[in-house]
Structure 1
Amino acid sequence: MTTGTETVVRTDQRAGTEPDPPGMTRITLRPIASPMPLGFFAVAISSAVTSSLQLGLIDGAHRQAVALTVFSAFVLQLLVSVLAFGARDVIAATLMGGFAGAWLANGLVTATGAPGGAQVLGVLNLVFTVFAALMASVARPKKVLWLLLLIAVPRYFTAGLHGVSGAAWLGHLTGALGMLLAAVAMYAAYALMLEELRGREALWIGRSGPVRDAMHEGLAGQLDRLEHQAGVRRTL
């Protein structure tokens, strides 16, 4: 379950004291659970299907069927992104939204067989590599997510080179990295689900720094610099 904050601003002019943020803050419970296991499972399943095609486990003649199958990843990860924004996790929300857009573009181009699709997707994947690298640079406190991105970067880089050059061995390498990405995403989803069920870390997730503090510190620490956060400050 995720918590939202509602801040009531008032000043005691008679006492001349500064407002007490914990005392002025009411916690409103939102009826949502963490959407991240769903997001990771969507990454795992779709990566496994597309990697099977790249490795030759699925016949190349069935590319359109694969594209239509993984279209569900776009829907699911878009939903996860929206829920993560509502839960004030901008890193998870941005990452899942980026993955959703990539799945949609790949699915539409592959399913329609658009002319020049391989080269265009190659460029898209190369740009997505930069996006994944930038996300990895800020996701390190979330170790399991950081590990996922460390695999996603070379996976999308080789996919981009494969699309631009057409080299078959790059397609096979992309498929192998995609399978590894699917395995890590599946582990992350399962670890987060166990944590939700047991109320504690059951499998290694590797939180550190402010991410770890957010799981263990009290209300006063959670409200630190609250007035500067998105949704509370006057402008984004």
Structure 2
Amino acid sequence: MPASEPDPESEQSARVAPPAVRIGLRPIASSVPLGFAALAAATLLLSLLQLGWLAYGESSHVSMALITFAFPLQLLGCLFGFLARDTVVGTGMGILSGIWLATGVIKLTLPVGTVTSPTLGVLTLVAALALLVPVAGGAETGRLLSATVLLTAAVHFLFTVGYELTSAQVWATIAGLVGLVLFVVALYAALALLLEDVCQRAVLPVFRRSADGSSMQSDLRDQRGSLEREAGVREQL
């Protein structure tokens, strides 16, 4: 029996068919609890110093703690936030890690007897205003708890700016009190978001709008529904 001749149209369609695209999803744990825990620790130390509950001689130790503890942990949170395609977390943690490093280094290099720095005041002002960017992003995507933490951090920095620029103790006192509030809010957020991540449900209130709750409430098909439209993902290779 003679062999059947190949269909020219089938061969042409096979040649022009685009290659299949396979998207791999890498599981990455949330870095938000780690970043907020580091924020709570750094804020508590700085607030106690601003309120005078830690002696002035402890300033260098506080600076070293900001450099060796808060900065690397929040930098880690920043990197893994961007790896998880979370620009709110990555941006917020990056700004916080940078300002903690700058605060620690500048405080350590101040002349003896000097407690404030206008340069640090201006830099802290820029950081406070820059934090409003991830605050807006978090609020827009329904992540109200994270947005609240970052907004409180921005307010704390603003009062710290007043102290660094004027050296008036009243600004330091207000900043210290706001910092204690930030310590509580950040520690609560770290606990609530960690429990949510490990239990796959909200154990403590996280004040998340439903628009951002798909990662906990829907299946994988719903979560990756818009993945092909995200930055860095091409329709065809």
Q: TM-score range by the shorter chain?
A: 0.7 to 0.9
CA shift for structure 1 position 86: 0.9
CA contact (8 A) 1:109 1:117 kept: no
CA contact (8 A) 2:116 2:165 kept: no
CA shift for structure 1 position 109: 0.2
**Greater CA drift, 130-139 or 176-185:** 130-139
Residue 57 of structure 2 aligns with which residue?
A: 61
CA contact (8 A) 1:64 1:112 kept: no
**Greater CA drift, 174-183 or 112-121:** 112-121
Q: Distance in 2 between matches of 1:215 and 1:24?
A: 27
Query: Root-mean-square deviation (CA), in Å?
Result: 2.6
Q: Does 1:41 align with 2:40?
A: no
CA shift for structure 1 position 217: 2.8
Q: TM-score, normalised by structure 2?
A: 0.82
Q: Does 1:89 align with 2:90?
A: no
Q: Distance in 1 between matches of 2:80 and 2:133?
A: 22
Which runs of structure 2 are paired with 1:59-208 in the superposition (5 Å)? 59-71=55-67, 72-113=69-110, 118-140=117-139, 141-208=142-209
Greater gyration radius? 2
SS at match of 1:70: helix
| Equivalent residue letter for 1:67 | S
Q: Does 1:222 align with 2:218?
A: no
CA shift for structure 1 position 233: 4.3
Q: Distance in 2 between matches of 1:233 and 1:89?
A: 19
**Greater CA drift, 190-199 or 36-45:** 190-199
Residue 10 of structure 2 aligns with which residue?
A: none
CA contact (8 A) 2:162 2:171 kept: yes
Unaligned ranges ≥5, structure 1: 1-12
Q: Distance in 2 between matches of 1:230 and 1:91?
A: 15
Query: Identity of paired residues, percent?
Result: 32
Structure number with higher strand proportion:
1
Q: Distance in 2 between matches of 1:18 and 1:233?
A: 13
SS at match of 1:42: helix
CA shift for structure 1 position 197: 2.9
Q: Distance in 2 between matches of 1:110 and 1:197?
A: 38
| Change in 2 beyond 3 A, CA 1:194/1:61 | same
CA contact (8 A) 1:125 1:157 kept: yes
Q: TM-score, normalised by structure 1?
A: 0.83
| Equivalent residue letter for 1:185 | A
